[in-house]
Amino acid sequence: MNDNTLIISIGDMNEDFADVIDVWESGKAATPLNRLTFESMSGFLSYITPKRWELVAMLRKHGHVSIKKLSEILKRDYKNTHTDVKAMQEIGLIEKDENELVYVPWDDLDIKLNLKQAA
């Protein structure tokens, strides 16, 4: 896994805390982890809707673009596109550059589902 991978976990949020505790107890320098955790699959699916996933995929394909241009590419209403971009920015799937253009900063998404928590 490269440094430009976002790990998305669905399920056991305790793993995030276990990693922090392990590093703290070892006294070693921490390696930054790009991680986003959802408590449940339903939480993940309510946040990462099919339209938002399409937006992220299209943005990854087209690179740095304005929200207006993105809404044109997607053939969607500007307001809805803007709302979805803001939501994806809040969780770190999308960022804005110095010119206020939006883009996906990740090369890969590693999505992990904890089946013990899924039931």
CATH number where 94 lies: 1.10.10.10
- Pairwise CA distance, residues 10 & 38, whole Å: 5
Torsion of CA 76, 82, 84, 87, to 10 degrees: 180
What's the pTM?
Answer: 0.74
- The C-alpha atoms of residue 49 and residue 72 are separated, in whole angstroms, by 19
Domain that holds residue 65: 5-118
Is the pLDDT at 92 greater than 50? The verdict is yes
pLDDT, average across residues 18-30: 60
Our count of domains for the chain comes to 1
pLDDT tens for 57-79 read 999 999 999 999 999 999 999 99
Q: What's the confidence (pLDDT) of residue 1?
A: 47
Record the tokens describing residue 72, joined without a space: 């044109």
In whole numbers, what is the pLDDT of the chain averaged over residues?
83
Confidence of residue 109 (pLDDT cuts 50, 70, 90): confident
